């Protein structure tokens, strides 16, 4: 007779672990949480995490990719939607201003993408740095493309070099996201957005 091997069934939920790790790194910062603490919050042993992710770097990569998918992906849906450029841009700013990044404790924390793009954690893995750089380039390239299209269609007026203006809009999106997470009033943020968008309108030339 063959002996039936007994053992605890695999219960590791990578989806749950990614979600928890994302929220912890988002709240605390990637440099400020030990792997032991992450494992405790996930409810799994360090060997289990190593088995699933290959180590702490793999866990950080998964958490970062999930954040980009959930938060930055939603912003991109607004920014690169089917409306005209100005309407899309307004929708993207509205999303940043009105949909603050709340976690379960009701607090607001800095955008992980912005933080790691502008002020990278000192021990941020190279793989994570490359993901951030690739996302920056992706957004910049797509933004430049739709700005050029809008300019050619005479939807907007731009008197600046297209690369300079693309960088300007890219950074303004990051700035509004950062200030929104700092709980700057919506009145001030909406006023800033008006200053960004109004000069583009042909009616204001």
Domain coordinates in residue numbering, the chain: 66-204
List pLDDT tens digits, range 61-117: 999 999 999 888 999 999 999 999 999 999 999 998 887 655 555 566 778 888 888
End-to-end CA distance of the chain: 88
In this prediction, residues 37-57 reach a mean pLDDT of 92
- For residue 190, CA distances in Å to 44, 53, 62, 187 come to 44, 42, 34, 5
List pLDDT tens digits, range 154-182: 989 888 799 999 999 999 999 998 888 77
Position 8 pLDDT exceeds 80:
no
pLDDT at 107: 61
Mean pLDDT over each residue of the chain, to the nearest integer: 87
In the three-class reduction of DSSP (H, G, I as helix; E, B as strand; rest coil), residue 121 is classed as: coil
The answer to pTM > 0.85 is no
């Amino acid at each position: 007779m063959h002996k039936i091997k007994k053992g605890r069934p695999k219960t590791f939920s990578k989806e749950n672990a990614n979600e928890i790790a994302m929220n912890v790194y988002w709240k605390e910062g990637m440099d400020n949480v030990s792997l032991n603490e992450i494992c405790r919050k996930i409810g799994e042993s360090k060997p289990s995490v190593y088995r699933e992710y290959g180590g702490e770097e793999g866990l950080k990569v998964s958490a970062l990719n999930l954040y980009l998918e959930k938060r930055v992906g939603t912003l991109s849906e607004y920014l690169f939607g089917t409306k005209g450029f100005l309407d899309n841009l307004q929708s993207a700013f509205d999303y940043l201003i009105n949909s603050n990044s709340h976690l379960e404790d009701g607090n607001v924390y800095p955008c992980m993408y912005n933080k790691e793009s502008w002020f990278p954690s000192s021990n941020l893995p190279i793989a994570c740095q490359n993901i951030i750089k690739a996302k920056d380039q992706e957004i910049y390239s797509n933004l430049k493309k739709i700005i050029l299209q809008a300019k050619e269609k005479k939807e907007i007026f731009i008197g600046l070099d297209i690369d300079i203006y693309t960088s300007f809009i890219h950074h303004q999106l990051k700035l509004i996201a950062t200030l929104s997470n700092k709980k700057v009033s919506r009145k001030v943020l909406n006023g800033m957005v008006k200053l960004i968008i109004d000069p583009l309108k042909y009616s204001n030339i």
